[in-house]
């Protein structure tokens, strides 16, 4: 912990100076630092400084004026303005926090959306970029808990990505790639076997489509099937605006989005499912438990936290522990999950083609941002992906046959022998449409066009 004291001391006589006469400013600045407190001597010295100070004037005032028969001037009265800052308030001594010592305490949180916009504008103005005001607005929305340091770090990483891709200015896809690298880290250098790649893509596509159809309080930020440290694929979400409360209907859609993987795997793979749904079921059960037992969003009103603490729920008493999944609460949780699972099944059945479209996009591009996920679902041109190809008449015929082959191979425990279809296999009239931005193209390989290069020295962005 580091502690900064800025003491602005004004002599009382200075405040009453004659007009036109300059005021004298006596100021002291003290920098104090320590690992875990600094010792009692430092604390006592600090408390003494905070209690006020009367410093006698010089020798001439005390002795010379007496020799001349004059009364010595009284010591000056000082006014103190003490400002302190710390990122470890829990380590401050209680003596420092008693009433009268520190009059006001301000907690500095994360910047607001407007603050993030101004910060990004300041950093990007120092380097060449092709970002529009709408891009800056979008970036501030998809980085809700960014600090000044993390925003500067993201801008630097965007510059690195742009230089690696041979650009002279930062573009929006460079920013998205930098954001992904900062949040998720580089993907592991592994390749899925074809059946696992397809199953993972369908799994994540179910999450994405159910979230788009039901999650009105959140937007899709990113979808990927590139393996990370503790996940095979993921779909992440962001809030379109800063909020501090949540509704029952919103948590129900959160549960439906989590259950989409289980319902989707069973629907698309002949009733079977993978172990990859375990984390989703844990999330869904946690939300359902909190809704039924703690948040007042279930079929009962009583709070389970009180009944568990007081032993009024018919189970073990205080201190003896209890199993919240037993008894009526466990039944209500399971009933809520079953109800929402049934609703999720309906959404998946109604959006079969949209799920297959997102699954193909994930298999083809590996990682796509939220705007392009929506473009694929809606069948329109996105920033980096032309989603119109997924509304072509032969898409279901071509990719549906590919999916059916995977299902047959899974059921029969045989090998997959059909390659992943390319967009020109079902929509040759659209594949010549240029896809701007992120280094992807409707090519036969579907691979990124950019490669690594030796980086020149980066410019200093400043504070």
pLDDT of residue 118: 95
Cβ atoms 366, 197 nearer than 8 A? no
pLDDT of residue 39: 59
pLDDT of residue 459: 44
- Report the pLDDT averaged over residues 81-103: 82
Tell me: pLDDT of 49 over 80. no
Cβ atoms 403, 393 nearer than 8 A? no
Q: How far apart are alpha carbons 310 and 128 in whole angstroms? A: 63
Per the structure block, which two tokens stand in for 355?
């799920």
Measured from the Cβ of residue 430, the count of other Cβ atoms closer than 10 Å reads 16
Q: What CATH fold (topology level) applies to the domain 194-425? A: Methane Monooxygenase Hydroxylase; Chain G, domain 1 (1.20.58)
Give the DSSP H/E element, type plus range, for residue 219.
Answer: strand 219-224
Q: Which residues of 107-122 are buried (b: 16+ CB within 10 A; e: fewer)?
A: eeeebeeeebbebbeb
Tell me: pLDDT of 41 over 90. no
- The residues spanned by each domain of the chain are 2-97, 113-184, 194-425
- Report the pLDDT averaged over residues 151-178: 93
> Which residue has better confidence, 121 or 97?
121
Q: How far apart are alpha carbons 321 and 324 in whole angstroms? A: 9
Q: What CATH fold (topology level) applies to the domain 113-184? A: Helicase, Ruva Protein; domain 3 (1.10.8)
Q: How far apart are alpha carbons 243 and 237 in whole angstroms? A: 14
Q: How far apart are alpha carbons 376 and 290 in whole angstroms? A: 34
Residues 6+ away with beta carbon under 8 Å from 367:
180, 187, 222, 223, 224, 225, 226
26-29, Cβ contacts within 8 angstroms, sequence gap of 24 or more? 26/78, 29/5
pLDDT of residue 54: 59
- Report the pLDDT averaged over residues 64-72: 80
pLDDT of residue 82: 79
Query: pTM (2 decimals)?
Result: 0.72
pLDDT of residue 405: 95
Percent of the chain with pLDDT over 70: 77
Tell me: pLDDT of 458 over 60. no
Measured from the Cβ of residue 397, the count of other Cβ atoms closer than 10 Å reads 11
- Report the pLDDT averaged over residues 120-133: 94
pLDDT of residue 191: 81
Per the structure block, which two tokens stand in for 439?
């280094």
Q: How far apart are alpha carbons 305 and 124 in whole angstroms? A: 49
Tell me: pLDDT of 50 over 90. no
**Residue 386: exposure state from Cβ atoms within 10 A (0-12, 13-18, ≥19):** buried
Cβ atoms 241, 144 nearer than 8 A? no
> Which residue has better confidence, 421 or 93?
421
Question: Nearest CA to 462 among 161, 127, 159, 108?
Answer: 127
pLDDT of residue 171: 93
Least confident of 44-58, 159-173, 206-220: 44-58
pLDDT of residue 444: 32
Cβ atoms 223, 368 nearer than 8 A? yes
> Which residue has better confidence, 60 or 325?
60
Q: How far apart are alpha carbons 302 and 304 in whole angstroms? A: 6
Question: Nearest CA to 157 among 186, 135, 136?
Answer: 186
pLDDT of residue 16: 38
């Amino acid at each position: 912990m580091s502690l900064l004291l800025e003491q602005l001391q004004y002599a009382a006589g200075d405040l009453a100076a004659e007009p036109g006469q300059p005021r004298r400013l006596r100021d002291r600045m003290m920098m104090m630092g320590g690992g875990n407190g600094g010792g009692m001597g430092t604390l006592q010295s600090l408390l003494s400084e905070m209690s006020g100070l009367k410093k006698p004037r010089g020798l001439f005032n005390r002795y010379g004026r007496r020799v001349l028969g004059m009364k010595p001037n009284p010591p000056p009265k000082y006014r103190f303005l003490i400002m302190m800052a710390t990122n470890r308030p829990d380590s401050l001594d209680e003596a420092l926090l008693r009433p009268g010592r520190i009059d006001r305490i301000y907690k500095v949180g994360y910047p607001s959306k407007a603050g993030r916009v101004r910060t990004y504008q300041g950093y990007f103005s120092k380097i060449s970029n092709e970002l529009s005001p709408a891009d800056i607005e979008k970036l501030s929305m998809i980085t809700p808990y960014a600090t000044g340091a993390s925003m500067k770090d993201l801008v630097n990483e965007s510059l690195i990505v742009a230089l690696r891709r041979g650009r002279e200015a930062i573009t929006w896809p460079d920013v998205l790639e930098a954001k992904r690298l900062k949040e998720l880290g580089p993907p592991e250098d592994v390749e899925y076997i074809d059946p696992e790649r397809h199953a993972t893509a369908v799994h994540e596509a179910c999450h994405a489509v159910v979230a788009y159809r039901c999650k009105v309080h959140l937007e899709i930020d990113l979808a990927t099937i590139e393996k990370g440290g503790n996940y095979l694929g993921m779909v992440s979400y962001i809030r379109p605006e800063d909020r501090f409360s949540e509704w029952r209907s919103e948590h129900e859609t959160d549960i439906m989005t989590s259950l989409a993987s289980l319902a989707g795997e069973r629907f698309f793979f002949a009733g079977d499912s993978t172990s990859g749904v375990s984390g989703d079921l844990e999330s869904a059960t946690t939300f359902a438990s909190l809704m039924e037992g703690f948040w007042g969003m279930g079929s009962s009103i009583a709070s389970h936290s009180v009944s568990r603490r007081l032993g009024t729920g018919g189970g073990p008493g205080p201190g003896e522990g209890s199993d919240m999944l037993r008894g009526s609460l466990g039944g209500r949780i399971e009933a809520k999950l079953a109800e929402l699972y049934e609703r999720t099944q309906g959404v998946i059945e109604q959006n079969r083609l949209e799920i297959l479209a997102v699954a193909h996009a994930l298999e083809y591009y590996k990682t796509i941002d939220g705007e392009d996920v929506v473009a694929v679902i809606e069948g329109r041109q996105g920033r980096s992906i032309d989603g119109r190809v997924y509304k072509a008449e032969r898409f279901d015929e071509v990719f549906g046959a590919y999916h059916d082959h995977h299902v047959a191979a899974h059921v029969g425990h045989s090998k997959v022998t059909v390659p992943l279809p390319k967009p020109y296999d079902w929509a040759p009239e659209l594949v010549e449409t240029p896809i701007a931005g992120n280094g992807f193209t409707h090519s036969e390989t579907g691979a990124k066009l950019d490669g690594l290069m030796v980086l020149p020295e980066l410019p200093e962005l400043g504070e």
